[in-house]
Each structure stands twice: as structure tokens, then as C-alpha cells.
Chain A
Amino acid sequence: AQSVAQPEDQVNVAEGNPLTVKCTYSVSGNPYLFWYVQYPNRGLQFLLKYITGDNLVKGSYGFEAEFNKSQTSFHLKKPSALVSDSALYFCAVRDPGYSTLTFGKGTMLLVSP
């Protein structure tokens, strides 16, 4: 079975400061990992993914994520937060043996001016 944990319901950060949104996963094999963002009344937008290769993955809007196999984590990061980054962020995992994507419960990111 595959699962994802997002331990924080909400992350608060001031504009211009670095941000981190945490994600840990559990799969039986090597994971395929994804981050999506959801703005109010919108669908999920793809940010970035890790399949293989470099542990640091760069994505849209200046976001990046670091794959850490020993800690089974895939934390989302951005060096300097913007107010417009305020949204709901979902981490998702796919076990190579399965065709389905399992999502975490989401983390609300609030960036204050």
C-alpha cells in the first residue's frame, strides 16, 4: 500500500522569507512523487515531480523539492515567498507497481505581506 503524510495543516510565513511545506511517504518500491497546488475554486495545478535522478527537483513558479530516500521525505521549498503563493498544497505518491496516485490531505500555505 502507498500513503502520504502532510504533518502540517497550515504553514504561515512572511513575504520574502523562505518557505517549506513538509511531506513524507510510504511505498514498497522506489516512489514517484508529485506536488500540486490548488487555488480557491480551482482544480489542482501541477508544480513538480520526482521520478529518478537528481534529488533536487525544480518546478513552476520558483518552487523546488528535495527527495530524501533515507527520511522518506519530499519537502516543497521556495527561497522567497510571495503573497500570491498562498494556496492549498498537495503532495502525492505513486508506487511503481500501481497506476493510481495517492494524495496527502493538503497543507494550507498563508503568506503575509
Chain B
Amino acid sequence: EAGVAQSPRYKIIEKRQSVAFWCNPISGHATLYWYQQILGQGPKLLIQFQNNGVVDDSQLPKDRFSAERLKGVDSTLKIQPAKLEDSAVYLCASNSPGGVGTDTQYFGPGTRLTVL
């Protein structure tokens, strides 16, 4: 089965510019996650979708970050305007919920964002 797809793999922008990342989860996976991984740290959850609804966006900086999953399949994460501290790898993950808390998340290759 195909894995989680993400694009682009790399992006370099100037501060105050906008950028968008795309994710296509594993087919049939209802839950989709976006994580931010800053160099030297573990991934931090930004937002979790269940189908096309938001389950948890408590750590999403909503003044500049937005995400959508309109049809419950692929998703887009946007940053506008970008700041230097947004430089990180943005990871998308998906899973197919089984029993509560037992499901394994599968990750895409990530998008490495550099803000200059």
C-alpha cells in the first residue's frame, strides 16, 4: 500500500512570505495529523483532523497558521506570513483508528522549510 505523500520536499522562502504544504494520507485513513519538528526536538502536534473535522488544534499558532481537509482526504497546511522561527520540518501522519489510543500513526517524508 502507498504511504503518506507530502509535497514539496523542500521549500526556501523569505520571512513575511506565505507558503503551503500538501499531504495525502494512506488510503482509507480517517485521521490526519500535522506536526512541526524543529531541529534537535521531537515532533510537536499542530493539528489533528478526523475526516474533515478538527479534533485538536490547541497548539496551532492560529494568527499565522491554517489547515484544511475539505473532503476528508488530502490536507493543506499554510503559513502566512512566515517568521524565521517557522524553519522546521513539517510532518504529516495518518492512521485508521482502532481501539482508543491503540492506533499507530504512519508518517510521510516531511517538508523541510527554511525561512530566510
Contact = CB atoms under 8 A, between A and B. Distances in A.
Q: Which of B48, B104, B112 has the most CB of A within 10 A?
A: B104
Nearest to B109: A43
B46 to A, nearest CB: 11
A49 B98 CA distance: 14
Given A43-B4, A99-B56, A104 B108 contact: no
B2 interface: no
Nearest to A42: B109
Interface string A54-98: 000000000000000000000000000000000000101011101
A98 B58 CA distance: 13
Contacts of B105: 46, 101
Interface string B9-44: 000000000000000000000000000000011111
Interface in B48-63: 48, 55-56
A32 B43 CA distance: 17
B43 A44 contact: yes
Contacts, number: 55
Interface size class of B (residues with CB under 8 A): 20 to 34
B104 A44 contact: no
B42 A90 contact: yes
Interface residues of A, number: 25
B58 to A, nearest CB: 9
Contact of B42 (A51, A96, A98, A106): A106
Interface string A25-67: 0000000101010000111111001010000000000000000
A98 B45 CA distance: 13
10 contacts: A4-B42, A41-B112, A43-B4, A43-B108, A46-B106, A51-B102, A90-B43, A94-B101, A98-B101, A99-B101
Interface of A: 4, 32, 34, 36, 41-46, 49, 51, 90, 92, 94-96, 98-101, 103-106
Given A43-B91, A95-B101, A99-B55, 11 more contacts: A4-B42, A32-B102, A34-B104, A36-B107, A41-B109, A43-B4, A44-B91, A99-B48, A101-B105, A103-B43, A105-B42
